[in-house]
Amino acid sequence: MKSKQKVLILFGTQTGNSEDVADRIGRYITRMNGKAQVVNLNDYPVTSLVNESIVIFVCSTTGNGEFPDNMKSFWKFMLRKSLPSNSLSHLKFCVFGLGDSSYDKFNVVAKKLNKRFLQLGALELIPLTLGDDQHELGYDAALDPWLLKLKDLLKNICFLSDSYIPDNVPLPPRYTVKFFEYSSTTTNVNSDIYNRNKLFPLATLKKNQRVTPDDHFQSVHILEFKIESDVHYEPGDVAVVWPENPIEEVEDFLALLNVPLDTIFTLVPTDADVPLPKIDTYPCTVRQCATSYFDIMSIPRRSFFEIFQHFSQDELEKEKLEEFTTAAGQEELYDYCNRPRRNILEVLKDFPNTTPHVPFEYFFDMIPSIRTRSFSIASSLRAHPQELHLLVAVVQYKTRLRKPRQGLCSNWLTTLKSGSSIPFSIKKGSIALLKDQFPIILVGPGTGVAPFRSFIEERALNGIGDNYLFFGCRNKAKDFFFSETWQELCKKNMLRIFTAFSRDQEDKIYVQHRITENGPLMWDLIQNRKATIYIAGNAKQMPQGVKDAFLEIIKKEGCLTQEEGLKYLQSLENAKRYQMETWA
């Protein structure tokens, strides 16, 4: 009998949705008695593609049509001109994309990836399939029929039998847990296999200042960190941090478990291809794991309930959990979890006759790991030696649930005490300051202004004063971030600022209005003085509004048609003279 072929599932994600879908596909194949390996694209050596037979890609599109961070290196390699047109002719593949049709560049990452693999000779198993977060059933509307197609294909390609592990039987966990018989407080287990504090530089908090008044709708903080002397970053770079769960929520979660909380444990993968999780630090205790690894504050996805329902000891709870795992039950699940933003910890509490019966090792399959968070660096390293500044808006809002919803990382960062040290890393952002002396036009409403402080400080040190900043916020008196810095630079003729305080008058004024008002100046800077335009901020409406404003200026001042104006804008993007960094 022919042996089964392994199916490799690679995911590119920024928010975790792609990882969730990839895990569901992996379990689906496993239930067909197939071999599946789910791998983060960051952890996959791209040159190994020559050894693969079947690959499924699950990838999301971020911001304004950008590749997720864990996919950028992979994509850069795939674009090499030296790759022969038949280099992937041995490979069968399919792509499932995750996007949001309310954005212009809907699922553009999946489209580009699919096209590139076809160019390199790979055989497409299933036509490109695009999940849409705007659908009433979310990504499941596209995923459920896609899985049925996959099942029929893999039966023939992977030589799978007709046998199927029933849905009511739990699959083996990804890891088995081994507890040691001594306390972590008295004995160490060899040396750390993974220790974030040893692998990454540390940032020590020297200042944590709230810069919006107490009566403002949002708490925004400037955090100043002292960093190691050999850490280097450039204007436009991003700081990456690992948040931790709040102590109160950690204790609530631990109270639900029936395992020793302060005894060190290790994990043994059930499959040799499965990597160990990157817990800080590992080996560790359950308490440490609950603090720094399990994302108990995240909203559970369908895959969570697909595992959770197996352990229910209550007929009513089991019935409800099973409903959440079906396509027909997705509207109910959305109303229960997504609409009120109910988190995993709250769901575990809502099912008291199920949670105590979940074996601890299954939580590694049910609960995602805490994702890193990225923040634009709001300082020039030359202006602030051995320092790193962040501008952080605290995420907090109300839903129909009694307890206000809080952003994990923003609340963790802004409650840090002076002297606290945290591991961090530096990565390139979506925007980069060009090393020339041409003018720059900066559009950064709200906390989007953060990276532009580093831009302007850097250029001011070099004596370059052609800096034009469009800043918008609600009130001049309440959220005019870095106003003193701007005033000082304006006095030195290093900056010209255009402000839009939307709530300080009856008619709301936004940055795009100020751009339009200064059309002749903008056209002169762009056309005659070779200025570069940088835009940073919320991805929902602002970037399109700003783009429309520049398009109208280009058409009017340049006497161009709509098509010619769009081509002009595209030429600026291609030349890196129109750069954006946006976030949802």
Q: How far apart are CA 245 and CA 537, in angstroms?
A: 26
Residue 512 marked as a ligand binder:
yes
| 119: its two tokens | 């160019």
Nearest to 355, CA basis, from 267, 285, 254:
254
**105 labelled ligand-binding:** yes
Is 100 annotated to bind a ligand? Reply is: yes
Residue 133 annotated as lining a ligand binding site: yes
Q: Is 447 annotated as a binding residue?
A: yes
CA-CA distance, 276 to 299, in Å (whole number)?
23
CB atoms within 10 A of CB 251: 13
CB 406 within 8 A of CB 395: yes
Residue 233 known to bind ligand? no
CA distance 276 to 268: 8
φ, ψ of residue 484 in degrees (nearest 5)? -65, -40
Q: How many CB atoms lie within 10 A of CB 260?
A: 17
Q: Where would I find the beta strands (DSSP E) of 330-459?
A: 373-376, 387-393, 396-397, 405-406, 421-427, 440-443
Annotated ligand binding at 502? The verdict is: yes
Tell whether 556 is in a known binding site: no
Q: 374 a known binding residue?
A: yes
- C-beta separation of 513 from 546 below 8 A: no
Residue 273 in marked binding region: no
Question: Is 179 marked within a binding site?
Answer: no
Is 129 assigned a ligand-binding role in the annotation? no
Flag whether 17 is marked binding: yes
302 is in an annotated binding site: no
Which has the closest alpha carbon to 373: 445, 320, 298, 269? 298
CA gap 239, 221 in Å, rounded: 16
Whether the bond between 281 and the residue before it is cis, its omega within 30 degrees of 0, is yes
Q: Is 263 annotated as a binding residue?
A: no
| CB-based contact 446:393 (threshold 8 Å) | yes
H or E, element range at 6: strand 6-12
Is 508 a known ligand-binding residue? Answer: yes
Instruction: Please indicate if the annotation marks 72 as binding a ligand.
Output: no
264 is in an annotated binding site: no
| Residue 511 is labelled as binding a ligand | yes
- Judge whether 164 and 32 are in contact, CB under 8 Å: yes
Q: Is 18 annotated as a binding residue?
A: yes
> Is 62 annotated as contributing to ligand binding?
yes
Instruction: Transcribe 21-48 into DSSP letters.
Output: HHHHHHHHHHHTT-EEEEEEGGGS-GGG
103 is annotated as contributing to ligand binding: yes
The residues facing 315 across adjacent strands are none
Report the C-alpha gap between 98 and 66 in whole angstroms: 13
Query: For every residue of 245-294, which 3-state class applies, written as one string?
Result: CCHHHHHHHHCCCCCCCCEEEEEEECCCCCCCCCCCCECECHHHHHHHCE
**Integer Cα distance of 466 and 134 in angstroms:** 42
**219 among the known binding-site residues?**
no
Binding positions for NADP(+): 447, 502-503, 508-512
Binding positions for FAD: 341, 373-376, 407-410, 583
Binding positions: 13-18, 60-63, 98-107, 133, 341, 373-376, 407-410, 447, 502-503, 508-512, 583
Binding positions for FMN: 13-18, 60-63, 98-107, 133
